[in-house]
Amino acid sequence: MKRFATLVGLALKSAWNRRLTLFLIVLSVSLATILLVGLERVRGQVRTAFLQAISGTDLVVGARGSQIQIILYAVFHLGGATNNMGWDSAQKIAQRSEVAWTIPISMGDSHQGYPVVATTQDFFKHFRYRRGMELKLAKGREFGDIFEVVLGSEVARQLNYELGQSLVLRHGLGTVAPEHSDKPFTVVGVLASTGSPVDRSLYINLESMEAIHIDWRGGAPIRGFTISADRARKMNLTPKSITALLVGLKNRRQVFNLQRELQSAPGEALSAVMPGVALDQLWRILGSGEKVLWLVSILVTATGLMGLISSVLAGLGERRRELAILRSVGARPFDILTLLSLESLALTVAGVLIGLSILALIIALLGPIISEAYGLVIELSPPTAREGLLSLAIIVAGYLAGLVPAIRAYFLSLGDGLSLSL
Amino acid sequence: MSDGHLGPMAPKEIASSALVKGEAAPAVRVKDLSFSWPKGSFRLKVKSFEVKAGERVFISGPSGCGKSTFLSLIAGILKPNQGEIFIDGQNLASKSGPKRDKFRGDKLGFIFQQFNLVPYLNILENVILPCRFSKVRYDSATRAAGSPAQAARALISRLELGEDLLDRPVSRLSVGQQQRVAAARALMGRPPLLVADEPTSALDADLRLSFLRLLAQECREAGSSLLFVSHDRSLAGELDRAVDFNDLNET
């Protein structure tokens, strides 16, 4: 024990004595740590944001189709549904005894590239994201009347819209489709930032959606036939169909039963998707990009450790004398091995600690900016288990890398003995 | 000035302590030693060589005659092909590698030709170093002076190194000072045997004699035997006995 303490002391003093040379090694280990742990932090947050884009919703129901497609348009508001589901089907589901609430969603229009979601006030009441977080209004109020629109936080920020702003929706998702310019909307509210797809959409009620399409057929205005906004107001605006229905149950255990019943029920062909399961599947597809990033950061780490090996190896020549002195006072060749590997260990630990500190600083400084710009919440927090494990892995790898020069020193000191060949 | 220290009183002490020990084991006893490098043609053969306890022996010989190999064998770094090497009564040749390393730490002090000091340790830490690897030396220094640090301080001042040098990085010492620090380290914990391999050859001529006298005197003071190797025969008369290595090696 005492001998080990001696070796630790010698290793630290020796490293400190060559601190200028070793500084670069420590720096490269720090960079590798920042990259690896930082990537893990971002990956974890992206994954969380993705998998928790929707929460509390037990089933997403849409016209018969692929699970992933339903999730893409109902949760991420991406792309359009190829088929709609009937309003009467939605009503029937909403009236079932095991259903606590439903949120109907109707899509297909856009504004400046941002999707427009037509829904009801139940959306504000029941929609949850990230472990049961509720939607909050940053400004204004929920939509009430038709031709009123509530903006997601990112839409408001990017387009620089304030309450009272008048805007026109475009039919479809492109930028060349015709606009509903005869029926402008007024911004009445802006949602608080959620870090979820909610931020990137505009919200109107189902009747508004119906109203702007009342004089349209087959995706285009009917030539020579227009119904003014005021006249549309007075007409029956109950939708005939919607894109999807988010369903919350009174008792979550009934989800499998209900899913089976909905999918096999006679009448309209429906698909009912459990969002958690589908999001997992989707992440497995999308997440493959992260593997490339992983590979790159592992290569950077390996490069850093190669630098460690080569620097310590290069310094060995000058240290043969020092090692011979230690041998002369009773150090075993194994002590020399320990001394050298402890040095690499000290360098790696220093590098990892410095790297983690710099990363914390980066997160503290840039976190709010990233959160503001990308809706990705990256907060200063103690390292997660995975991050801790990752840091440990770097240290272990550094120690193993340090064994290369240490073993070389072992054999050198076996051969050199006390002869200081000058 | 060092002549004053080599007064006639000191030998009496040695003589009496040798008497007290009675049949004290010789510091070094080599019998029928033979060694050859695995690939090389070089061979070493020493029939018999002995250094009595407390005896200070001068070994001379040209460079490349095998002195360093001989010292490596005595230090237990190399293992002989045949023969026995008793150091302080124990046969090194029969010990395993790690045991020889421990034995070396316990029983031997070394002074090399040059660059004797660990660059990242200060003078005090360099002198204490043997006590860090050997409990025997640690205990011995503690018995003698209360603590290894105290023992080191005492040795440093006896070797005419000022107190003000204690914390100085060893790289800022003159070669003469470095060799004296090395001597202090070798003497730490009063090992039975000091081995000095050409310790004066890096020194200016006028410093060699005073260094040797100081070293010899301190060895006597510590009761350690001294094996002083040098090609400079002019120093040979300063110690108890002088041996020509060519007479030892029978190949």
> Cβ of A82 under 8 Å from any chain B Cβ?
no
pLDDT one-digit tens code per residue, A227-243: 777 777 777 888 889 99
pLDDT at residue B217 greater than cutoff 60: yes
B window 212-231, beta carbon within 8 A of A: none
**Residue A418 has what pLDDT?**
62
pLDDT one-digit tens code per residue, B47-75: 888 888 889 999 988 877 788 888 888 88
Q: Is B133's CB within 8 Å of A321's CB?
A: no
pLDDT tier at A417 (50, 70, 90 boundaries)?
Answer: low
**Residue A329 has what pLDDT?**
86
Name the minimum distance, in Å, from the CA of A158 to any CA of chain B: 60
Domain residue spans of chain B? 2-248
**Residue A319 has what pLDDT?**
83
Q: What rounded mean pLDDT belongs to chain B? A: 82
Average pLDDT over residues A63-91: 87
**Residue A321 has what pLDDT?**
82
**Residue A257 has what pLDDT?**
92
> Cβ of A342 under 8 Å from any chain B Cβ?
no
Q: Is the dihedral of CA B132, B135, B137, B139 positive or negative?
A: positive
Measured between CB atoms, which of B106, B119, B120 is closest to A330?
Answer: B106
pLDDT one-digit tens code per residue, A352-380: 999 999 999 998 998 888 776 666 677 77
Nearest residue in A to B98, CA atom = A332
Name the minimum distance, in Å, from the CA of A346 to any CA of chain B: 16
pLDDT one-digit tens code per residue, B163-204: 777 777 888 888 888 888 999 999 998 999 999 888 888 888
pLDDT tier at A160 (50, 70, 90 boundaries)?
Answer: very high
Q: What rounded mean pLDDT belongs to chain A? A: 86
pLDDT one-digit tens code per residue, B137-150: 999 889 888 888 88
Q: Does the domain formed by B2-248 have CATH 3.40.50.720? A: no
Average pLDDT over residues A220-231: 74
pLDDT tier at A162 (50, 70, 90 boundaries)?
Answer: very high
Alpha-carbon span A346 to A338, nearest angstrom: 12
**Residue A245 has what pLDDT?**
95
pLDDT one-digit tens code per residue, A91-134: 999 999 999 999 999 998 899 989 999 999 999 999 998 888 89
pLDDT tier at B8 (50, 70, 90 boundaries)?
Answer: very low
pLDDT at residue B19 greater than cutoff 60: no
Spatial neighbors of A53 by CB under 8 A, at least 6 apart, are A75, A76, A129, A196, A197, A279
Say if residues A37 and A359 touch (Cβ distance below 8 Å): yes
More confident residue, A3 or A191: A191
Name the minimum distance, in Å, from the CA of A302 to any CA of chain B: 30
> In this complex, how many residue pairs, one in chain A and one in chain B, have their CB atoms less than 8 Å apart?
83
pLDDT at residue A166 greater than cutoff 60: yes
Q: Exposed, middle or buried, B171 (CB in 10 Å: 0-12/13-18/19+)? A: exposed
**Residue A122 has what pLDDT?**
93
